[in-house]
Amino acid sequence: MRIAVDTLGGDNAPGEIVAGVLSAARKLPDDEFVLVGDKDGIGPDLGDAPYNVTWRHASGAIGMNEDPAGALRARPHSSVAVAAEIVRAGEADAFFSAGNTGAAVAAALLKIGRLKGCRRPAIATILPFDRPVLLLDAGATVSCRPQDLLDFAILGSVFARRYLGIGVPKVGLINIGEEPGKGNDLTKEAYELLNRSNGLRFVGNVEGRDIGRRTADVVVTDGFTGNVVLKTAEGVSRELLGMVRDALTASMMSKLAGRVLRPRLLAIRDQLDPENYGGSFLLGVHASVVIGHGNSHARGVENAVVGISNAGTGLVEESETALAAAKERATEDAV
């Protein structure tokens, strides 16, 4: 894999971004990495860079609070725009950015383009339960059509097979009830499309409380709902861990109990750490695009880059083939 990395995006850029890439580059000697940024900023960190790391100049990052489309038009030489342009030119297969999510999505759409047969892309996020669950869309497409949710299910199934190693992923539709007739017009129509799709292992509606119960390996929804689900899960897990910590330090007896439980509690904390995966894949575009957490540190960046390498160069082609096959089956059924 050839991977372009936006070193200027994110709260801890460029130091943590560069450190994470250099660590990944040493572990992945067959891959190539292009660090995109201002050499005056990243230069000091490149002294011991391995041979498979190069750099490309970019003039500044798009801020977290800026309008993505407007900022991209005004600053075509920003780091995320240059990283996407490198992919567009065929000099890289993928790009990573921990900066403005909207800017990364817009750069991918404007410069790289959508897969044939996919109207809108989806951000696919791995929820770190004992058996990981893939959630999409987590925020790329806020207003969806029923066909978009079917596309998300197809893209998510391909990704789950390649990245999570699940042979035939179970697909669920996030809804307010398990019954087929539940939900709004979007979910009702999407249910019918998913249920008729022969290429999917559709298991029906999945309520929010059942997402972590292995009801489905891939859960699909619109970007608005998916982002709320993701942020709620992150917030609740953080608060629960804090409550447990407070309970285990409230008295001498609880502190003694805490010492016994500490290894297991640390393991749970580490399992829930979003830096284990480092970022979310943007599915539905003509390249592997990974959007990192805004506060990514070196370990998260390293894991994200390794994840891109593990997904391989065939992800895009397999996704496009699956979308085309689904459209063909739908046409045959209609006839």
Kind of pairing, strands 279-283 and 288-292?
A: antiparallel
CA 16 to CA 9: how far, in whole Å? 11
pTM of the model: 0.88
Domains and CATH numbers, the chain: 1-118+284-312 (3.40.718.10), 122-274 (3.40.718.10)
Q: Which residues contact 184 (CB under 8 A, 6 or more apart)?
A: none
pLDDT tens per residue across all 335 residues of the chain: 899 999 998 888 888 999 999 999 999 999 999 999 887 766 656 667 888 998 899 888 888 888 888 888 888 899 999 999 999 999 999 999 998 899 999 999 999 999 988 999 999 998 887 788 999 999 989 999 999 999 999 999 999 998 888 999 999 999 999 988 899 999 999 999 999 988 899 999 999 989 988 899 999 999 999 999 988 888 887 787 778 778 778 788 777 777 777 777 766 666 666 666 678 999 999 998 999 988 888 989 998 998 888 877 788 889 988 998 887 766 556 54
Neighbours of 209 (CB within 10 A): 8
Backbone phi, then psi, for 21, in 5-degree steps? -70, -45
